[in-house]
Amino acid sequence: MPPQPRRHRSFAHTTKRSMSSPSLSPQVTRPADFHVTVDVVLLSLRNDLPHIGVVQRNRPEAYIDQAQLQRRGNPHLPRRVEPVDRHPQHHWALPGGHVGNTLLGDAYGTGSSPDTTLAQAALRVLQRETNLLLTEDDLHQVGAFGDADRDPRSGRTISVAYVAVVGDDRDLALHPDTHVGHVSRVQFRPVVDVLARPNRLEFDHEDIVLKAISLVRSLVVTTPLATRFCREEFTLGELRRVYEALFHESLDSAAAAELPGHADVVRKYLKTLEKIGAQQTPDFERTITELAQMLPSSASRADFVGDDYTVEMKGFASRSAAPVADIARQAELMARLMRQSNRTRAPRPPRLIKPLDPTNFARRIQKLNILSSVEGESRPTFDRYGKPAALFRLNAHRELAPFLLRLDGLGKSDSSE
């Protein structure tokens, strides 16, 4: 009897048997050869300057592209990302991390349960590294970044990037330079400062930031996203300033950020603010505390101390029954506070804007029918200066059809407000 041909087991049978093998436990801690991560660009507007959230992680090295300058002239050149000693002032990264799955377990701090969606992974990573709580509605997917040379470590890393607008800058001051989990520093810094040398972003995060800005520029002229940079009620001047700041040429590229008059003026402004902060003495804080304790309970520190340390008289000595000695002490403390605040008055921020004609902008934005006026309410256009202007808010009953806000032809010469 002739020998029978050897039978080969089917692929399905082999796969079924291998999957049931105890060697492939769902809690394998071995790093995956194929990594899926998420990165988030947090974008905000502070003092008319676009800011992004950046972090420094608790490791001595940073992964920096040594061919970054050459790639500016030819983006198709390969990267040369190498680990270098971390510079505490100039090496930054975007908030990000691995997408949780059963194969990884908690090897990368992803938690014991998998992330159900990429957006949920981005929200989890964001909270873990910055303490900011956002929702999926806040996220806009920028794209996937998976070039083979973007991460020199083992395996292939594909990162899905998101951008989120953080409109209320009160959240941004909660954790500057603080330790959050495995992150040693969290800061919101002007975009032009982060993009310009000697600052360097890790991996290909510079490309991600520029792609995110391009996406936001597209969204603010086709959706009401620009209103997210403002308070719930805003003037048309405040809304116009969002467009003026986002479309300034300093955000076009890293090379544009380094042009004279862009990053250098911003850094001079930041250095002045740091010097003012260093001049604050315990006596300054004691004066504020004592004065606050003497004021009526309805008054708060924010009533008489602003962001630029100027003093307003609201609520001062409003207790008609206060003893004469108390009123005299209040006057003495106010005079001292005025002397101290005059030495620490914040400078006016630089104006990196692309000026738009106010009248034509107001006409075009109102033609879109996405805003509703707030009857009987007004405030100075830019908080501390400018004539009172009417307030608007996003119309909750607006038509959700797409639109296009054309900014061409709205330019004007750069002049003070």
Please name each of the domains of the chain with its CATH number: 34-251 (3.90.79.10), 281-342 (no CATH)
| Band of residue 173 on the pLDDT scale cut at 50, 70, 90 | very low
- In this predicted structure, what is the pLDDT of residue 402? 86
Q: Long-range contacts for 363-370 (Cβ within 8 Å, ≥24 apart)?
A: 364/405, 364/406, 364/410, 365/236, 365/239, 365/240, 365/405, 366/236, 368/403, 368/405, 369/395, 369/398, 369/399, 370/224, 370/394, 370/395, 370/398, 370/403
- In this predicted structure, what is the pLDDT of residue 124? 92
SS (H, E, C) 184-223: EEEEEEEHHHHHCCCCEECCCHHHHHHHHHHHHHHHHCCC
Give residue-wise pLDDT tens across range 312-347.
333 333 334 445 566 777 777 777 766 666 556 667
Report CA-CA distances (Å) from 389 to 37, 121, 373, 411. Answer: 45, 42, 11, 21
Instruction: Flag whether pLDDT at 129 surpasses 70.
Output: yes
Mean pLDDT of the chain: 80
Give mean pLDDT, residues 58-69.
Answer: 92
CA distance 391 to 297: 30
- In this predicted structure, what is the pLDDT of residue 190? 94
Identify the DSSP state of 7: P
Instruction: Flag whether pLDDT at 232 surpasses 60.
Output: yes
User: Could you tell me the pTM of the whole model?
Assistant: 0.76
Distance of CA 113 to the CA centre of its chain: 28
Give residue-wise pLDDT tens across range 193-219.
999 999 999 999 999 999 999 999 999
Least confident range of 26-40, 135-149, 218-232:
26-40
Instruction: Flag whether pLDDT at 111 surpasses 80.
Output: no
**Amino acid type, 286:** R
Give mean pLDDT, residues 161-183.
Answer: 65
- In this predicted structure, what is the pLDDT of residue 289? 73
Q: How many residues does the chain have?
A: 417
Least confident range of 31-35, 176-180, 374-378, 387-391:
176-180
Instruction: Flag whether pLDDT at 170 surpasses 60.
Output: no
| Band of residue 147 on the pLDDT scale cut at 50, 70, 90 | very high
Please give the structure tokens belonging to residue 12: 């399905």
Alpha helices (runs of H) in 2-144, residue ranges in sequence order: 11-19, 68-73, 118-130
- 272 Cβ neighbours under 8 A, 6+ residues apart: 347
Beta bridge partners of 180: 183
Pick from 176, 352, 169, 197: nearest CA to 277:
176
Please give the structure tokens belonging to residue 273: 């603010």
- In this predicted structure, what is the pLDDT of residue 23? 44
Please give the structure tokens belonging to residue 151: 């991460």
Peptide bond into 282 cis (omega under 30): no
What does R_g of the chain's alpha carbons equal in angstroms?
Answer: 27
CA distance 108 to 347: 43
Give mean pLDDT, residues 160-189.
Answer: 70
Instruction: Flag whether pLDDT at 56 surpasses 80.
Output: yes
Q: What percent of the chain has pLDDT over 70?
A: 71
Query: Do 208 and 95 contact (CB within 8 A), yes or no?
Result: no
State the first-to-last Cα distance of the chain, in angstroms, to the nearest integer.
102
Least confident range of 10-19, 88-97, 368-377:
10-19
